[in-house]
Amino acid sequence: MSGAGAPTLTLDGSGLRVVVVAASWHTVVMDGLLAGARRALAAAHVADVTVVRVPGSFELPVAAQRATASGADAVVALGVVIRGGTPHFEYVCQAATSGLAEVALRTGVPVGFGLLTCDDEQQALDRAGLPGSQEDKGAEAAEAAVATVLAV
Ligand code: DLZ
Measured CA distances, 51 to 99, 126, 152 (Å) = 19, 23, 24
Ligand 1 within 6 A of 108 CB?
A: no
pLDDT score for 9: 81
Q: Domains plus CATH for the chain?
A: 24-146 (3.40.50.960)
What is the chain's percent helix, strand, coil content, to nearest 5? Answer: 45, 20, 35
From first to last of its 152 residues, the chain has per-residue pLDDT tens of: 666 777 788 899 999 999 999 999 999 999 999 999 999 999 999 999 999 999 999 999 999 999 999 999 999 999 999 999 999 999 999 999 999 999 999 999 999 999 999 999 999 999 999 999 999 999 999 999 999 999 99
Which of 26, 59, 92 to mutate for ligand 1's pocket (most ligand atoms within 8 Å of CB)? 92
